[in-house]
Amino acid sequence: MPDQKRKIVVYTVGVWDMFHIGHLKLLKAARSLGDILIVGVNTDELVKAYKGHYPLLCWEDRAAVVEACRFVDMVIPANSLEKDKLLEEIDADIMVHGNDKKILGHDYMIQNNRRVVYLPYTEGRSSSTLRKTLKRYYEEQIQMESKGG
């Protein structure tokens, strides 16, 4: 009988609002670390609770975009910032996040001899930056229209 090697499960989570090159780079790098990439997409309510605003795109749309990425094997809703129970349920071997902040679940992974990988944050590329750019663009268009332009 052939040796059945256990597949390495990688987990990452995010809002994934206005999918951009930073998101793509993170998912590609995360997938390269294992055999199965499971991606948590924060629910609209969770984003509102910790960011103070809803994402521009609804959960269903954000999940569909992430799921369409060829590096992703499964998308699941992330209802809480607390990750320990979920990480145990999916039996994650590696948790991946951008290196812009320490993620909840870090301690659980380390205590259970699992890996946490912080990948380089893509400078100048974030949904928050895109949101500010869109706001500024919209305000400039309103000013131009009010001046008769």
Q: What does the DSSP assignment read for 16-57? A: --S--HHHHHHHHHHHHTSSEEEEEEE-HHHHHHHHSS--SS
Query: Does any domain span residue 27?
Result: yes
- Edge-first strand order for the sheet with 36-42 is 74-78, 36-42, 9-14, 94-98, 115-119
CA gap 141, 147 in Å, rounded: 10
Query: Does any domain span residue 137?
Result: no
Query: Does any domain span residue 113?
Result: yes
Quick one: 23 exposed, middle or buried, by C-beta within 10 A (0-12, 13-18, 19+)?
buried
Q: For residues 112 and 94, is the Cβ–Cβ distance under 8 A?
A: no
Query: Does any domain span residue 141?
Result: no
> For position 99, what pLDDT does the model report?
82
How many structural domains are present in the chain?
Answer: 1
Mean pLDDT throughout 131-146?
Answer: 69
Q: For residues 86 and 108, is the Cβ–Cβ distance under 8 A?
A: no
Query: Does any domain span residue 129?
Result: no
Give yes or no for residue 143 having a pLDDT over 80.
no
CA gap 78, 68 in Å, rounded: 18
**Residue 93 maps to which CATH number?**
3.40.50.620
- Summarize pLDDT for 29-81 with one digit per residue, the tens: 999 999 999 999 999 999 999 999 999 999 999 999 999 999 999 999 999 99
Least confident segment among 11-15, 30-34, 95-99, 131-135: 131-135
Query: Does any domain span residue 142?
Result: no
Distances, alpha carbon 122 to alpha carbons 26, 100, 125, in Å: 9, 9, 6
- Summarize pLDDT for 101-138 with one digit per residue, the tens: 778 889 999 999 999 999 987 766 666 676 676 677 66
